[in-house]
Structure 1
Amino acid sequence: MIGISDIEAAAERIAGHVVRTPTVESPGLSELLGVAVTTKLELLQRTGSFKARGATAKLLSLGAEELAAGVVAVSGGNHGIALAVMAAALDVKATVVMPRSAPARSVALVEAAGASLRLTDDMPSAFALVNRLRDEGLTLVHPFDDPVVIAGQGTVGLEFADDAGELTDVLVSIGGGGLIAGVAVALRARRPGIRVWGVETEGAEAMSAALTAGGPVPVVPSSIVTTLSAPAVSQLTYDHVSALVTEVLTVSDQDAVRGCLDLAEHGKVWTEPAAGCLLPAARQVLDRVGDGARLGLVVCGGNATAGEITDWSERFGLR
C-alpha cells in the first residue's frame, strides 16, 4: 500500500503540469441535502477529470527507454483522454484502447490529441488487447493497478484535506479504485477521523463484488457509466479500499443521471454520471450518520455532452 509520502512526492512531481482545482462550499447542494456540502471540482482539471494527475505522475516517472517505446492505456473514456493529452504535451507516442461503448466525445478527444486509437467490442476485450500490446513492448500506463498512478490520483485528497473546512464524510466514485485508494490514503493521513465512502453504479460494481468475495473477481459491466465500468478491481486497489474505506454504496444509473441534473441545477456544475452518482449516495450516507454530517464530494469529471445527458434523461423519464 502507498503512504502519504508517496502522494506528497507525486504532488511535487506533477506541479506545473496539472491544475490545483477549486475546493468550494456549495450553498445550493447544502440546501438540497440539508447539511453543509463542500465540493472538490476535478471536472475543472486538465482533460476534464482527475485522470490527468495519475497519467502525468506515471509519465514523469518513466525512464528514457520506456518513453521511447511508447505508452499504452486501456480506458472507458477519461484515462484515455488524459494519457493522450498529457503524452502529447510531453512528446511521447501513445496508444489508447477503448471499448466501442466509450462516449463518442472521448473517442474524438483521444484522436484529436494524436494518440493511436484501438477500439474493441467491450471492456474485458479492451483489457485483453492492452495486455497483448504491453507484451509486445509498449509501456503500460494502467488506469488503477499502479502505485504511481494511485499516488497521482491521491493528490486530489491531499488538496481537499488542505483546502476544505471541517468535513466528517467524503464521497468518491469507484471504477477500478485508483482514485478512492489515493484519496483515502491522503484524507486518512491528514484528517484521521474522517469517513471515506465509495460509490458505484449498478452494473459497475467491481469493488462491491471484490469486498463480498474477499478479493478481486471478474464482473460483466452493464452500467451506462462506462467510466466506472472496470471488469475487475486490482488487488492493490482492493487492499486500500478494504482497509481505509467505510463502505461502498451502490446507486442506479437512473439516480446517477438524476444526480447530474441536480448538480447542474443546484450545484451549478456540469458533470458526467460518474460524478452524478455522488448525490444519491450522499443521501444514503446521511441516512446512516445523521444530520450533523459535513459532506465532501469529489466531483471527479465532466466529460459528458449535452446530447448524452438529454438522451439518458429521456431514457429514464427524467426532466
Structure 2
Amino acid sequence: MIGIFEIEAAAGLIAPHVVRTPTVPSPGLGALLGVPVTTKLELLQRTGSFKARGAAAKLLSLSAAERAAGVVAVSGGNHGIALAVMAAALDVKATVVMPRTAPARSRALAEEAGASLRLTDGMDGAFELGMRLADEGLTLVHPFDDPAVIAGQGTVGLELAEDAAEELTDVVVSIGGGGLISGIAAALRARRPGVRVWGVETAGAEAMSAALAAGGPVPVPLSSLVTTLSAPTVSRLTYDHAAKLVEDVLVVPDHEAVQGCLDLSTHAKLWAEPAAGCLLPAAREVLSRVGPGAHLGLVVCGGNTTLAEVTGWAERFGLG
C-alpha cells in the first residue's frame, strides 16, 4: 500500500516539473447538483491531465542505466502524451504504444513531443506490445501498476486535502486502471480520514468494478468510447487500494459521460473530456446515497478532447 510518506516524497520530487492546479468552488455545479461542489482542476495540468504527475515521478526515479535504455508507455491517450512530454523535458527517449482507436489529437501530441509512436488494433494488443518492448530492454512506465506512478498521482489528493474547504465530505474520482484513485484515496485517508472516496467508470470499461465483484483483478471486454478509461484489467496493487480505501465504484453509460462534458462546459465553464464528464452522473448517484449535507469534491482529471469529438458524440447520442 502506498502511504502518505511516499506521496509527500513524490510531491517534493515533481514540484519543479508540474503545476499545482487550482482547487476551487464551482457555484455553477453547486446550483446544478444542489450541494456545494469543489473542483480540482487537473485539466489545467501540464499535458492536459493528471498523468504528468505520475510520469514525472517515475522518470525522476529511474537509474542512469534505465534512463539510457529509454522508456515505453502503453496508453489510450493521456498517459502517452504525458510520458512523451515529460520524457522530452528530462532528456529521456520514449516510445508510446497506443491503440488505433486512441484520439487522433493524442497520437499527434505524443509524436510532436518526440516520442516514437507504435499503434495496435486494440488496447489488449497495446499492452502486449508494450510488455514485449520492455522485455527487449526498454523501461516500462506502466500507467497504473507502479508505486512511483501511484505516489505521483496521489499528489492530486495531497493538494486537494490542503486546499479544499474543511467541510468536504465526498470526493468522486474517475477510474481507468486505478492509479489516480489509489493515490488520492491514500492521501485523503491520511490527511482527511472522514472523507469518503467514490470511483466512477463508464460501461464497457469496468475493470475495477469487475475486480471488486470477483475479489481480484480480472480481464474485461472493452467497448466504451472513453479510451482514456479503457484498461483491460486493473492491477493487484490498484485493486488492493480500491478494496480497502474506496467507498464504492459506480458505472455510468457513455452517453451520460458525454452529457457530463456538455454540463461541465455550460455550468462550470470547463472544457473536459468524457473521462471527467462521467463525474456528474456519478455525483448524482453519490448524493442519492449520502443524502443532504454533502460537500462534493470532483477531480476533473483531463481536458484532452476536441470540439469535433464532443459534438460528434453528442450527435450520436442525440444530446443537446
2:256: which partner in 1?
255
2:118: which partner in 1?
118
Identity of aligned residues (%): 79
| Letter aligned with residue 159 of structure 1 | E
User: Separation in 1 of the partners of 2:111 and 2:221?
Assistant: 27
User: Separation in 2 of the partners of 1:222 and 1:119?
Assistant: 18
User: Separation in 1 of the partners of 2:198 and 2:48?
Assistant: 23
| Letter aligned with residue 168 of structure 2 | L
1:292: which partner in 2?
293
Unaligned 5+ runs, structure 2: none
2:219: which partner in 1?
218
Shift, 1:312, TM fit: 0.2
User: Separation in 2 of the partners of 1:103 and 1:183?
Assistant: 26
**How many equivalent residue pairs?**
319
Shift, 1:242, TM fit: 0.2
Alignment of 1:131-146 (within 5 A): 131-146=131-146
User: Separation in 2 of the partners of 1:160 and 1:221?
Assistant: 31
1:39: which partner in 2?
39
| Letter aligned with residue 266 of structure 1 | H
Instruction: Name the SS of the counterpart of 2:145 in structure 1.
Output: coil
1:100: which partner in 2?
100
1:206: which partner in 2?
207
| Letter aligned with residue 232 of structure 1 | T
| Letter aligned with residue 302 of structure 1 | G
1:24: which partner in 2?
24
1:276: which partner in 2?
277
Q: Does 1:240 align with 2:241?
A: yes
User: Separation in 2 of the partners of 1:208 and 1:15?
Assistant: 33
| Letter aligned with residue 224 of structure 1 | L
User: Separation in 2 of the partners of 1:12 and 1:82?
Assistant: 19
RMSD, aligned α-carbons: 0.3
Instruction: Name the SS of the counterpart of 1:24 in structure 2.
Output: strand
Q: Does 1:14 align with 2:11?
A: no
| Letter aligned with residue 179 of structure 1 | L
User: Separation in 1 of the partners of 2:26 and 2:189?
Assistant: 23
Alignment of 1:39-188 (within 5 A): 39-165=39-165, 166-188=167-189
Runs of 4+ in structure 1 off by over 3 angstroms are none
User: Separation in 2 of the partners of 1:225 and 1:74?
Assistant: 16
Instruction: Name the SS of the counterpart of 1:35 in structure 2.
Output: coil
| Letter aligned with residue 63 of structure 1 | S
| Letter aligned with residue 219 of structure 2 | P
Q: Give the TM-score taking structure 2 as reference length.
A: 0.99
Instruction: Name the SS of the counterpart of 1:204 in structure 2.
Output: coil
User: Separation in 2 of the partners of 1:154 and 1:146?
Assistant: 12
| Letter aligned with residue 221 of structure 2 | V
User: Separation in 1 of the partners of 2:202 and 2:190?
Assistant: 28
Instruction: Name the SS of the counterpart of 2:19 in structure 1.
Output: coil
Shift, 1:188, TM fit: 1.1
Unaligned 5+ runs, structure 1: none
User: Separation in 2 of the partners of 1:207 and 1:283?
Assistant: 20
Instruction: Name the SS of the counterpart of 1:260 in structure 2.
Output: helix
| Letter aligned with residue 72 of structure 1 | V
Q: Give the TM-score taking structure 1 as reference length.
A: 1.00
